[in-house]
Amino acid sequence: MADIDSHKPLIERLARKNILVIDDDGMITKTLCDLLHRAGFYADAAADGASGIDKTEKSDFDLIISDIRMPNIDGVQMVKRIKEIAKLKSRPDTPIIFITGYTDDKAVAEAKRLGEVIFKPFETKEFLERIKKYI
């Protein structure tokens, strides 16, 4: 038993869920990562779609939270690419939560086919409850 107890911080760390936050607004990624850390999750951030794809190729995540509108590659196109890569590597499908301040019907409808959509601004408590239902 003493051996297990000596590794407790490692065990607790490994049991925590790993979330990737992707948004081109650095204030949003910082705020969401801080919120997730306080809620007991590990959170990493990517500043754009290309970085998000790169991070998911190198690490497994239990959940991805992404903005829909970003420069170069938007969140919907990025998630489609991430899902293609996961399929090629025989990885499980990662749940997706899109966050957006826009109500563009076409983009939102496409995002809803790939994951859940949450509109900004949102309440912290409700946001964390929605995250917990996926992980």
pTM above 0.95, yes or no: no
Structural domain contains residue 3: no
- Hey, which residues does 97 pair with through a beta bridge? 65, 116
Structural domain contains residue 31: yes
Q: What is the extent of the structural domain holding 82?
A: 18-132
| Span 66-125, pLDDT tens digits | 999 999 999 999 999 999 999 998 999 999 999 998 777 788 999 999 999 999 889 999
The total domain count for the chain is: 1
Question: Residue 70 has what DSSP assignment?
Answer: -
Structural domain contains residue 77: yes
Q: How many CB atoms lie within 10 A of CB 23?
A: 25
Structural domain contains residue 72: yes
Give backbone dihedrals phi and psi of 43, rounded to 5 degrees, phi first.
-140, 135
| Span 11-28, pLDDT tens digits | 454 467 899 999 999 999
Structural domain contains residue 58: yes
CB 29 within 8 A of CB 50: no
Structural domain contains residue 52: yes
Supply the CATH number for residue 75's domain: 3.40.50.2300
| Span 77-90, pLDDT tens digits | 999 999 999 999 89
Structural domain contains residue 76: yes
* pLDDT average, residue stretch 24-50: 96
Omega before 121 within 30 of 0, i.e. cis: yes
Structural domain contains residue 120: yes
